[in-house]
Amino acid sequence: MQVIWRAIRWVLGEAWEKINVVGTYRELKELGKKHGWRFFVAAVVWELIEDVLFPFISWVFGVPELIPLFLVLHFEPIAYPAIFWGFRMWDRYKGREPWEPDRSAMSAYWRSIMKVGVYKLAVGGWFATIFVAAGISPWVLTADVGIMAAFGFIHERIWHDNNFGIRPDDTVEVKRVAAKAFTYRIVSLMTLYPLLKATRGDVPWTALFVCQGVGLVIYFVLETIWAKSPWGVSFIVRGIQPGDVISVSPTSFTVEPGVRPEA
């Protein structure tokens, strides 16, 4: 009984955060002070999209049961990193930030595109088979592939700028691969569920979770392979001095201070 009561309190609390306009404005204002006015504007726009546009679209498409979902769930953990990435790309374009990440290697943009393409090809046949067996329209698959392909590229570049799970020698730990796989699948689930609900009126839960399970396994395997591949990876050279010892392997680049020549 306590679990049910806690769940009810959580739902009510989340819903109150959505309709508490004054509290939301204060929170966004504080975030604006911390991250700048442009983030404040972007966050306000996102709140309007999440709390007004999404429920309105749900009503127009005849699936009002999705409205409570949008009023309870918070999509900021997905939207805010994408917003920050967009700002960072703009600052890089304007020369305010370096294009290179804060480590010894970086990935080319075409590598990110290839990773997304290879993954979509790998799961496409599986998803199509599952969708056909469940009687799901191929247009749903087409929409999901398009949305997740676009997000997949942004997802790749956001993680590219993050050093979580990368060792000093620039090799990748399993926890990074797992984190990337799970964050991608969470967004996929939050995308595919509304698509199914809007186009069918019901959700084939078995097909939905089989797709997510298959996608998770394939993503993890492919990401592990890509993590060991130097294809599209270039080393960043910073501050090398005469006498330094440079060690290069197919997957790492290290510089150790050597004997400095006398002035």
Which pLDDT tens digit goes with each residue over 209-242? Answer: 999 999 999 999 999 999 999 899 887 765 555 5
Residues 256, 258: Cα–Cα separation, whole Å: 6
Residue-level pLDDT at 235: 78
Structure-token pair, residue 234? 């270039």
Residues 111-144: pLDDT tens digits? 999 999 999 999 988 999 999 888 888 888 898 9
Average pLDDT over residues 247-261: 54
Residues 205, 4: Cα–Cα separation, whole Å: 23
Residue-level pLDDT at 214: 94
Average pLDDT over residues 252-260: 54
Q: Is the pLDDT score of 149 beyond 50?
A: yes
Structure-token pair, residue 118? 């290879």
**Residues whose CB falls within 8 Å of the CB of residue 135, separated by 6 or more in sequence, listed in order:** 204
Residue-level pLDDT at 246: 55
Residue-level pLDDT at 263: 45
Q: Which percentage of the chain shows pLDDT scores above 70?
A: 82
Residue-level pLDDT at 226: 95
Residue-level pLDDT at 213: 94
**Bigger pLDDT: 120 vs 252:** 120
Band (pLDDT 50/70/90 cuts) for residue 15 is low
Residues 212, 182: Cα–Cα separation, whole Å: 10
Prediction pTM value? 0.77
Q: Are 233 and 191 in contact (CB under 8 A)?
A: no
Give Cα separations from 39 to 45, 88, 89, 241 (angstroms).
10, 11, 14, 40
Residues 171-214: pLDDT tens digits? 899 999 999 999 999 999 988 888 888 787 788 889 999 999 99
Average pLDDT over residues 84-92: 91
Give Cα separations from 102 to 27, 127, 154, 162 (angstroms).
30, 37, 18, 8
Mean pLDDT score across all residues of the chain: 83
Angle of CA points 128, 132, 133, to nearest 5° = 120
Q: Which percentage of the chain shows pLDDT scores above 90?
A: 34
Q: Is the pLDDT score of 155 beyond 90?
A: yes
